[in-house]
Amino acid sequence: MNPILHVKDLSKSFGGLVALQSVDLKAETAQIVGLIGPNGAGKTTLFNCLTGLTPPTQGQIEFRGNPIVPQFSEGRIRLLKASTLLFFILGWVWVPLFYSLFLPRTFFKVELVLLGIFILGMRCLMVRAFVEFKIWAWSLMFVFLLSDLITGLWAMSHWGTSIALVGAGFPFGYVALPWAIVAVPFSLFFMGLLLSRRVRLLYGFRVSPDALCRMGMGRTFQNIRLFFNLSVLDNVKIGFHGQLKSGFWQTLIRGRSQRQEEESAERAALEALRFVDLQHRTFDLASSLAYGEQRWLEIARALVARPHLLLLDEPAAGMNPQESARLMDLIFKIRKMGTTVLIIEHDMKVMMNLADNIFVLDYGEMIAQGSPDEIRDNPRVIEAYLGGGPSTC
Amino acid sequence: MPRPQEVNRSQVLIIGLVLLALMLPWLPFGASTNYILRVLTTAVLYMILALGLNIVPGFTGLLDLGYVGFYGIGAYTSGLLAIHYDLSLWVILPLAALNGALWGILLGAPTLRLTGDYFAIVTFGFSELVVLVLRNELWLTRGPMGLPGISPPSIFGHPLTRDWEFFYLIVFLLAVVFVVVRRMEDSRLGRAWFAIREDEIAAQCCGVNLIRYKVTAFAISASIGAMGGAFYAKWFKFIHPDMFKFWESILILCLIVFGGMGSIWGTMLGALILIPLTEILRAVLPQSLFSARYLIYGLILVLMMRWRPEGLIPFESAQAEKAKQTQKRLTGLVGKE
């Protein structure tokens, strides 16, 4: 079986400071994976790389079989970008050119040019509505090819190939038509491809954090990041954002599907709050919660979307023993739901009880990996923690 | 549905105020009725503008100093369409809104990646650019000569000329904008904006596409501003580039800061208080102290910032109120089951 998360040879340096150095990490489905290390070992940097917040300098991350880091060298990416831009500009310059060449007397009528641009946009959207991105790109190409061919031929049969605007008898139409056929469809083809995740990777775009979240990655933060001025319920509802679809018009019209979506968001949020036992604070502002409760709320917000992989960054910080016991129960429950949990924790007792597999980071290097018992007895781990300096845990 | 006894005091107050506003043209103010109506029409217009601007700095948390640019675009769209094509107001308003949204997207899509101050400066530059274009493109806008002779709007063939007719028109527009903004605030869209306002990184990790929602916010805000401008051109019947100077942006920003950034009622209240106040000061102050009204205006803002920096109705309390309403609704539902 494929691992749900596979980090290969990942490095990250900030200027001269090396935060991560060829880190390898693997997490299987429904496993609890621990990540430990002294302060400044690069644990949070690794989390940020995984969630797409920081671009890694080198290496590859695969999440549910999808690569999420650009795979090409910078020069190649630059070439790709430049050629795309060229096609893009050619395509859009074509619109006024089409009017000046095929419909010469109408070129200076601004309304008609605007209409042309409008129709162009509508055609893109129309095709977009039916199919997904990759097919969209191809169908755009064919739709444009056909309709431009027909329009062009029709215009030429009506006005002939000589151009009133230019005045000469040069058959510009024969130049413009192939250009139109090549430039526009191809520019739009590339635009369409640019929206698909794999191609965006080729172009050097990282997979953005929000796309990763929609792919099923949820996380909490070491220093709590809640939406403090919103109610607890709204906080959790925002966590459900990627699961909903309604956009501007649906919101404006408030049709049935939008109302159903809102209801489903509400239901999921209330359920998540019940799951972390926070339902009594549902309608309070997040800023009014106690520190421990804020931690629970963050977990609820990450959980509400039912992620495949949950990243917890020091969830037990600031919790008393009863609370961390409850946290352990909760994490076991989360695993039972089929979610993989990757957890950073300083509390060794919690970690030893929880984790199926522990990775140890020290100065950006993965120094050990194994079951809790193996880690406990590993001399390098003991040295990293107790070695040169004072103890950190 | 709320039972009659559940209707609380604030709802009664709001309904009363709305009725009062609608009856206003028929109250016995004598000769000053028209003056009062004109002042209130201005105030309601600024309420619309404040509601529109509020979406960007209030909901999404981005400082927008160029709002008046969209207002100007709307006004000139409306003026030019009215003069050259003699279109009806009901065609002009959506067209102006669309044009505003278009420019909002054109400006927003490349610049919304900037953060904080840089973005504010870009928007400021944009509004200055709009004024420069309006002033210098003589073939289109007649530049500093202004655009006179805009036909008044008409409803069912009846041209609006009297002050109360315009007053009702703008109150109707306010109602439309209010409903639109309210619906967006209480939806997936509004929640995404709030999330961006509160914490961009956390919002991203919750699946909110930052650029997309920022651009949406910017476009909607711009289209509301353009709609306000479209009404203004039809109402004033004359527009001039100087009407859309930077100062106007600051004024509208002041309204929403005064009222409470991010709360709908707050921004409306801010406009309703500050705009008539300038007019009252204009009437009360002697001619020699005429410009001192801005001094007083500034003083109010300074005091406000000292004692109540979050505005008359702060964002948090609006959110707390909303949560309370949700609680009522949900516990009502639970009770029914």
Same domain membership, residue A229 and residue A198 = no
Going by their DSSP bridges, the two strands B158-159 and B154-155 should be labelled as: antiparallel
Among the listed residues A333, A236, A228, the one whose alpha carbon sits nearest the alpha carbon of residue A279:
A236
Amino acid sitting at position B62: L
A64 within domain boundaries: no
Give the contacts of A377 (CB within 8 A, at least 6 positions apart).
none
For A332-353, how does the pLDDT look when each residue is reduced to its tens digit (9 = 90+)? 999 998 899 999 988 787 888 8
Among the listed residues B237, B215, B68, the one whose alpha carbon sits nearest the alpha carbon of residue B153:
B237
Q: Work out the minimum CA distance from A161 to partner chain B, whole angstroms.
A: 33
A262 within domain boundaries: yes
Spatial distance between the Cα atoms of B181 and B204, rounded to a whole number of angstroms: 23
Predicted pLDDT at B226: 94
* Of A12-16, A17-21, B87-91, B158-162, minimum mean pLDDT range: B158-162
Spatial distance between the Cα atoms of A326 and A320, rounded to a whole number of angstroms: 10
- CA distances for B312 relative to B26, B140, B296, B308, angstroms: 30, 42, 18, 7
Same domain membership, residue A177 and residue A281 = no
Checking B304-308 for CB contacts under 8 A at 24+ apart, the result is B304/B257, B304/B258, B305/B257
Task: Determine the Cα angle at B172 with ends B171 and B174, to 5°.
Answer: 65
% of chain A surpassing 70 pLDDT: 66
- How many cross-chain Cβ pairs, A to B, lie less than 8 Å apart? 118
Residue A189: how many CB atoms within 10 A of its CB? 21
Amino acid sitting at position A276: V
Residue B165: how many CB atoms within 10 A of its CB? 17
Spatial distance between the Cα atoms of B110 and B129, rounded to a whole number of angstroms: 16
* Chain B residues with CB-CB distance to A226 below 8 A: 198-199, 202
Token couple for A182: 């090549």
Instruction: Measure CB to CB from residue B319 to each of A251, A270, A285 and give the nearest one.
Output: A285
pLDDT at B193 over 60: yes
* Chain B residues with CB-CB distance to A287 below 8 A: 316
Distance of CA B120 to the CA centre of its chain: 18
Specify whether the CB–CB gap between A275 and A326 falls below 8 A: no
Same domain membership, residue A192 and residue A133 = yes
Token couple for A311: 């990243």
Give the contacts of B226 (CB within 8 A, at least 6 positions apart).
B70, B71, B73, B74, B77, B96, B97, B99, B100, B101
Task: Choose the final residue of a domain: A295, A321, A344.
Answer: A295
pLDDT at A273 over 70: yes
For B72-110, how does the pLDDT look when each residue is reduced to its tens digit (9 = 90+)? 999 999 999 988 888 888 889 999 999 999 999 989 888
Instruction: Measure CB to CB from residue B316 to each of A210, A225, A285 and give the nearest one.
Output: A285
Q: Work out the minimum CA distance from B236 to partner chain A, whole angstroms.
A: 27
Predicted pLDDT at B151: 85
Spatial distance between the Cα atoms of B167 and B40, rounded to a whole number of angstroms: 8
Same domain membership, residue A253 and residue A136 = no
Most A CBs within 10 A among B80, B105, B180, B187, hence the mutation to make, goes to B187
* Chain A residues with CB-CB distance to B187 below 8 A: 246, 251, 258, 262
- Cβ pair B188:A283 closer than 8 A: no
Average pLDDT, chain B: 86
Interchain CB contact of B201 with A (< 8 Å): yes
Helix, strand, coil percent content, chain B, rounded in steps of 5: 80, 0, 20
For A62-106, how does the pLDDT look when each residue is reduced to its tens digit (9 = 90+)? 888 888 887 666 677 677 677 667 766 666 666 556 656 655 554
pLDDT at A39 over 90: no
Same domain membership, residue A95 and residue A189 = yes
Between A163 and B75, the higher pLDDT residue? B75
- Cβ pair B205:A218 closer than 8 A: yes
A152 within domain boundaries: yes
Same domain membership, residue A112 and residue A170 = yes
| pLDDT bracket for residue A107 (50, 70, 90) | very low
Strand segments (E) across A180-338: 217-219, 309-313
Token couple for B35: 């003056």
* Of A165-179, A246-260, B318-332, minimum mean pLDDT range: A165-179
pLDDT at A168 over 50: no
For A118-159, how does the pLDDT look when each residue is reduced to its tens digit (9 = 90+)? 666 666 666 555 555 566 666 766 776 677 667 667 766 766
Mean pLDDT calculated for residue range B19-41 = 80
Q: What are the sequence ranges of the domains in chain B? A: 34-246
- CA distances for A173 relative to A42, A87, A98, A183, angstroms: 62, 20, 9, 15
DSSP state letters, B56-81: IIIII----S-HHHHHHHHHHHHHHH
Average pLDDT, chain A: 78
* Of A34-38, A96-100, B301-305, minimum mean pLDDT range: A96-100
A308 within domain boundaries: no
For B48-70, how does the pLDDT look when each residue is reduced to its tens digit (9 = 90+)? 999 999 999 999 989 889 899 99
Interchain CB contact of B137 with A (< 8 Å): no
Same domain membership, residue A197 and residue A132 = yes
A17 bridge partner residues: A14
Same domain membership, residue A179 and residue A109 = yes
Checking B25-33 for CB contacts under 8 A at 24+ apart, the result is B25/B163, B25/B164, B25/B167, B25/B168, B33/B163
Same domain membership, residue A193 and residue A239 = no
Mean pLDDT calculated for residue range B258-270 = 90
- Cβ pair A284:B323 closer than 8 A: yes
Residue A142: how many CB atoms within 10 A of its CB? 12
Specify whether the CB–CB gap between A227 and B195 falls below 8 A: yes
SS3 state of residue A186: helix
Tell me the pTM.
Answer: 0.82
Same domain membership, residue A278 and residue A236 = yes
The CA radius of gyration of chain A, in Å to the nearest whole number, is 28
Among the listed residues A73, A116, A112, A77, the one whose alpha carbon sits nearest the alpha carbon of residue A95:
A116
A104 within domain boundaries: yes
For A239-258, how does the pLDDT look when each residue is reduced to its tens digit (9 = 90+)? 999 888 888 888 888 888 88
Spatial distance between the Cα atoms of B225 and B227, rounded to a whole number of angstroms: 5
Give the contacts of B65 (CB within 8 A, at least 6 positions apart).
B120, B121, B123, B124, B127, B246, B249, B250, B253
For A367-393, how does the pLDDT look when each residue is reduced to its tens digit (9 = 90+)? 888 888 888 888 888 887 766 544 444
Please, what's the b/e burial string for A304-318 (b: 16 or more CB within 10 A of its CB; e: otherwise)? bbebbbbbbbbbbbe
Give the contacts of B152 (CB within 8 A, at least 6 positions apart).
B159, B160, B161, B234, B237
* Of A259-268, B115-124, B217-226, minimum mean pLDDT range: B115-124
Predicted pLDDT at B304: 84
pLDDT at B227 over 80: yes
Domain carrying residue A274:
225-295
Work out how many domains chain A is built from and give that number.
Answer: 2
Among the listed residues A227, A229, A237, A235, the one whose alpha carbon sits nearest the alpha carbon of residue A262:
A237
Q: What are phi and psi of A370, to 5 degrees?
A: 160, -170
Q: What are phi and psi of A21, to 5 degrees?
A: -135, 115
Instruction: Measure CB to CB from residue A283 to each of B183, B204, B327 and give the nearest one.
Output: B327
- Cβ pair B220:A221 closer than 8 A: no
Predicted pLDDT at A226: 92
A283 within domain boundaries: yes
**What residue has token string 């103010």?**
B29
A182 within domain boundaries: yes
Give the contacts of B113 (CB within 8 A, at least 6 positions apart).
B211
